[in-house]
Structure 1
Amino acid sequence: MENNLDDKLIEILNILAQYDRPVGAKIIANELKKRGYELGERAVRYHLQLLDERNLTEKIGYYGRVITEKGLEELNKANISYRVGFVFSKMLEKIYLSDFPRSVIINRTVIEGNYSEVKELVLKVVDNGFSIGDFINIRRNKSSITVETLCSITFDNYLMKEGIYPIIKYGGIVKFEDYEPVAFEGVIDFSKSSIDPLEAFITRGKTDVMGIIENGEGHLPANFRIIPKTTLDRFENIIKEDKLNGILSYGEENVLGLSLNDGEVGIALVGGLSPICPLVEMGYPVKISAASDIIDISNVKTVSKKHLKPVKKKGKVKIVSVFSKMLSMVHKVDYSIEDRKGKVLVNRCCINRKYEDEVLEALDRCYKMGIMVSDRVGFEHRGDRLIMSTICSSTVDGILIKHGIPVIPYCGGILELSKDRFIEIISYDGTSLDPHEIFLNRVDGENTVLSGVRKAPMVGREKLIEIVKYLNWKGIYKVGKPNNDVCGVKVEKNMFGYICFGGMNPFAILKSRGIPVEVSALHGVVEYSELIPVEELV
């Protein structure tokens, strides 16, 4: 049986996950019909049996089925192409179903920790203005605390009701200086990712909300929307009403480093998850569910909140996608597969020298598993620091392009080796940060590894295989068949996909062991001859 579930099975799991009670075939069939799947009750029962066999669902007598823990886990991993953009479509659905000011969309976070400390930290963030509106719930459970904050798409619903359609674009982090937003320092396109961008940045440790509150400098999660310039006057009248105060900045041409087309106005909004950031920053165990529910506003408490005054500021540095950076960098590669020399692209990692044994062990493991691009690395001591460089997978792109194969870097993510599938991806043209930097702390280097997908025209497939074979590097995991998905990632007609292991896998292993690392993806170019075979180091 295939590792990936088909769309109908995933949709059935989605339906079951929305119920807190057993559900029968009739209800499931009706729900499937609403979602575009014409399955009768008999066919639904057949599909449920398939799910039962995989222990993804459980039959509860004559009452129906419930989704199991394994089913929930599979729902979060299965069919990666199906899940790309799911966060985006979920947001649009919630915008349509909510009805501010009667009902609001909430983020729900469950925290393990001291109730008084959690409450104090969360309210401190809201009190300083970093939330959507002044609505929040903090509840003490038996062994945890639940925090509910307004999701930023509640503001989108508000705009829709006022006749303005906001285009949801990015989630990211905004740098603050002297208590004011300066520029976005990283963004991910909601429609080109399998994960919630803000959740990715927050759990990756990219925020410093307490730094902003205490000394005016830090990083805040934020969202970016686009509205037509023709609605600007109406928009400014809306924000004067101050019903959902949470706008950091807005304007034309460029807003905090994000460029706009003619006729567009950009809006930077406080991330609705901002109040829980200090908890993550301080190491509290948290479980985040963004845009989890729509609830009546009467069920949300109001608290003290500082008024947030929007600034109109252009960023000093224009934000560009990783895709653009990659295309620029691959042209610096001039490695010759015949002479085994030339310039290659490297990622760089800085580690305290006291972890040298762990670094060597990680390199040895990656080399033996074959989850590095090449067996060559840079290894340099600088005082108490150890500088390690690994060949970047974009080097292979540069070599192939040099040989006339038009390669398209498509996405980076997490590859689950045991099931030969991607479980998370972010499109290279939908993020300003390398996806492997974002996923660095989410892989274990054994079953889950950093990998990337490239696409190329099928007429060049045989030549690519020939070049890769002659290159004799371990970095190519798989070359897909023409017109076929590769490890769950869709490939267009007359194209094929191939998968490269990420050059940062050794860094990820160190990170998974709790070793502090400072990484720089696509750091620069070095001469291949300056790099050392791993076998000589270990």
Structure 2
Amino acid sequence: MQKKSRIQFTSVKIEDLMFRTTFDPRTREGDLIVNLSLINSKDYDDVIKIFSMAMNSGLTVSPMIKVLHEGDKFGEMTIGKDEVGFATVCSITIDGVLLKAGVMIKPKFGGLVEIRDGLPVRFTNVLTYQSTTIDPLEVLMSQELTSVMEMLRTGTGKILANLREAPMIARDIIDSTLSDMVDAGITGILEVGEPNTRILDVPVERDHLGIVVIGGTNPMAIVQEHGIPIRTNAMSTLMSFSEMKHIREL
């Protein structure tokens, strides 16, 4: 009798990674969650310029990155012939750090945020983590719905972001922890809402507040918008912060 494989929704994977996150923003030590992107090595120079532009513009979770070359090991996989891999910080790292600080954080969905004249206006397309087995931002990227480069040029466009909710009673801990993360280079907070108040046109649960974080895959979306082939596996695995470098150091 053939063994049936179990379907794992993204929400389950997120919970697992959150609990395994050990990154401490004060000591800047421990493991954080990373995305893995793969490109053809011939596109390296173009892609690294795009990544640098996006990260220096604040359009990602962190400017920290690890470059993987042919033959390098990454978890259970090996970077293939003529490939280059990029490990970048995933936004769910923020949820893991908040959880370790004692905040009962609830990642809700990933989606597109409309930016108008440089200001976030509202979520448009969204996918909840409980409704899909694929990361929502990967799905939205595959549909070519982003206009991240246009937003950088004109101040208006659609970028990738995600929403989580937290109890309003934890507001002081949230503010303190997010401040520590900013000091450590985890700077992807787009907006923190007020308790019992809609955030970017999305309602939140009673006695909760919403936190919107810029998607860690926005640099990859720009690469795709330039017509350069790129494969991204969001929330790929955990990596020690000590293995990563600032994009300026490459």
TM-score grouping bracket, smaller chain normalisation? 0.7 to 0.9
Distance 2:22 2:249 in 1: 25
Q: Structure 1 residue aligned with 2:97, among 396, 399, 403?
A: 399
Aligned runs of 1:80-95 on 2, under 5 Å? none
Match of residue 325 from structure 1: 13
Q: Does 1:427 align with 2:140?
A: no
CA drift at 1:491: 0.4
Distance 1:483 1:512, change over 3 A: same
Partner of 2:147: 444
The aligned counterpart of 2:173 is 463
Query: What stretches of structure 1 of length at least 5 have no aligned partner?
Result: 1-312
Per-residue deviation, residues 380-435 of structure 1 (Å, max 9, x unmatched): 22142110111111111110000000000000011112152111101111111100
AA matched with 1:477? L
Q: 3-state DSSP class of the match of 1:442? A: coil
Q: How many pairs does the alignment contain? A: 225
Give the 3-state SS of the residue equivalent to 1:439 in structure 2.
helix
The 5 A counterparts of 1:176-191 are: none
Shift of 1:351: 0.1
- 1:496 maps to 209
1:507 to 220, 224, 229: 220
SS at match of 2:69: strand
Shift of 1:365: 1.8
Identity of aligned residues (%): 30
1:366–1:372 CA contact under 8 A, matched in 2: yes
Aligned partner letter, 1:471: M
In the other structure, the counterpart of 1:119 is none
Q: Aligned-pair distance for 1:314?
A: 8.2
Q: 2:193 is matched with which residue? A: 480
CA-CA distance at 1:345 after TM superposition: 0.6
Cα shift readout 1:416-467 (whole Å, capped 9, x = no counterpart): 1215211110111111110011011221222211100000000111210111
The C-alpha deviation readout for 1:208-242, integer Å capped at 9, x for no partner, is xxxxxxxxxxxxxxxxxxxxxxxxxxxxxxxxxxx
2:49 to 361, 366, 370: 361
Distance in structure 1 (CA, Å) of the matches to 2:197 and 2:112: 20
Q: What is aligned with 1:347?
A: 35
- Of the three residues 500, 509, 523, the one matched with 2:236 is 523
SS in 1 for 2:191: strand
Cα shift at 1:346 = 0.4
CA distance in 2, matches of 1:527, 1:470: 18
Q: For the residues of structure 2 that align with 1:421 and 1:371, how far apart are their CA atoms?
A: 17
Check the 8 A contact 2:181/2:187 in 1, yes or no: no
Q: Which residue does 1:334 correspond to in 2? A: 22
Check the 8 A contact 2:18/2:96 in 1, yes or no. yes
CA root-mean-square deviation: 1.5
Distance 1:486 1:437 in 2: 23
Please name the residue that 1:284 is paired with: none
* Cα pair 1:449 1:505 within 8 Å, conserved: yes
Cα 1:513–1:397 change in 2 (3 A) is same
Larger RCO (CA under 8 A, 6+ residues apart): 2
C-alpha separation between the residues in 2 aligned to 1:477 and 1:359? 24
CA distance in 2 between partners of 1:388 and 1:466 (Å)? 30
Give 1:326 shift: 0.3
Judged with a 3 Å threshold, the aligned counterparts in structure 2 of structure 1 residues 501 and 315 are, in CA distance, closer, same or farther, namely: farther
**Following the alignment from structure 2 to structure 1, what is the Cα–Cα distance between the partners of residues 145 and 86?**
21
The Cα shift of 1:315 comes to 7.5
State the 1:374 CA deviation: 1.0
Q: Aligned partners of 2:132 and 2:98: how far apart in 1?
A: 24
Q: Output aligned runs, 1:124-163, within 5 Å.
A: none
3-state secondary structure, aligned to 2:234: strand
The structure with more radius of gyration: 1
Change (3 A) 1:431 1:315: farther
The superposition leaves residues 456-488 of structure 1 with CA deviations (integer Å, 9 ceiling, x where unpaired) of 000111210111112112111110010011111
> Equivalents in 1 of 2:114, 2:56: separation in Å?
18
User: Quick one: distance in 2 between partners of 1:326 and 1:478?
Assistant: 21
d(CA) in 2 for partners of 1:362, 1:449? 15
**8 A contact 1:371–1:474 mirrored in 2:** no
Contact 1:483–1:493 (CA<8 Å) still a contact in 2? yes
Measure, in 1, the Cα distance between the counterparts of 2:88 and 2:243.
12
- 1:320-341 deviation per Cα after TM superposition (whole angstroms, max 9, x unaligned): 2101110011111101112111
Task: Please give the alpha-carbon distance, in whole angstroms, between the structure 1 residues aligned to 2:135 and 2:24.
Answer: 26
Counterparts of 1:477 and 1:385 in 2: how far apart (Å)? Answer: 32
Aligned partners of 1:431 and 1:386: how far apart in 2? 28
Higher helix share: 1
SS at match of 2:86: strand
